[in-house]
Amino acid sequence: MTETLKGACLCGRVQYEVQDPDSLGYCHCTRCQRWTGSSLAGVVVAKESFRFTSGEDLVTRYESEFAPRNFCSNCGSSLYDDLGEQYFVAAGLMRELALKPSFHLQVAYKANWHEIGDDATQFAENPPA
Ligand SMILES: [Zn+2]
Ligand SMILES: [Zn+2]
């Protein structure tokens, strides 16, 4: 069965659907911290499983190092981090998400004040390919 999750930004004008989310985890890199204000909780989704259902014209892309950032130009909500074949979609925008976090990336760069409180696998940088 295909699982579909809906997401919406803070102002509600950008809406999207993702099919068959792969996993949920955190990225603690300094780029995600600057982009979101803390670590980025994201859902890994194949790029062909992500589609906008409204407001695509409001989506703006910032060409960040390694992974371009896509956000709502009206309210500023972080939407997704473009990893090429996969998107890392901001988890907080999908209210029906039921996955449990399974990984922490870039833990070597996490904020000093951020204490990891779950037992998901931690990687100092990225998982070995
Ligand atoms: Zn918005
Ligand atoms: Zn990151």
pLDDT at position 1 is 60
DSSP β-bridge partners for residue 27: 40, 105
Average pLDDT, the chain: 95
Print the SS3 string covering the chain. Answer: CCCEEEEECCCCCCEEEEECCCEEEEECCHHHHHHHCCCEEEEEEEHHHEEEEECHHHEEEECCCCCCEEEECCCCCEEEEECCCEEEEEHHHCCCCCCCEEEEECHHHCCCCCCCCCCCEECCCCCCC
Cα 79 to ligand 2 centre (Å):
13
The pTM (predicted TM-score) of the whole model is 0.94
Mean pLDDT over 113-118 rounds to 96
> β-strand 78-82 against 40-46: which pairing, if any?
unpaired
CA of 13 to the centre of ligand 1 (A): 5
84 CA from centroid of ligand 2 (Å): 14
How much distance in Å is there from the Cα of 14 to the middle of ligand 1?
Answer: 6
Residues with a beta carbon under 5 angstroms from ion ligand 1: 9, 11, 13, 72, 74-75
Per-residue pLDDT band for 66 (boundaries 50, 70, 90) equals: confident
Could you state, in order of their start, the residue ranges of all structural domains in the chain? 4-122
Say which ligand is closest to the CA of 72: 1
Any idea which fold 4-122 has? 2.170.150
- Return the pLDDT at 2: 75
43 in Cβ contact with 21 (< 8 Å): yes
Amino acid at residue number 54: S
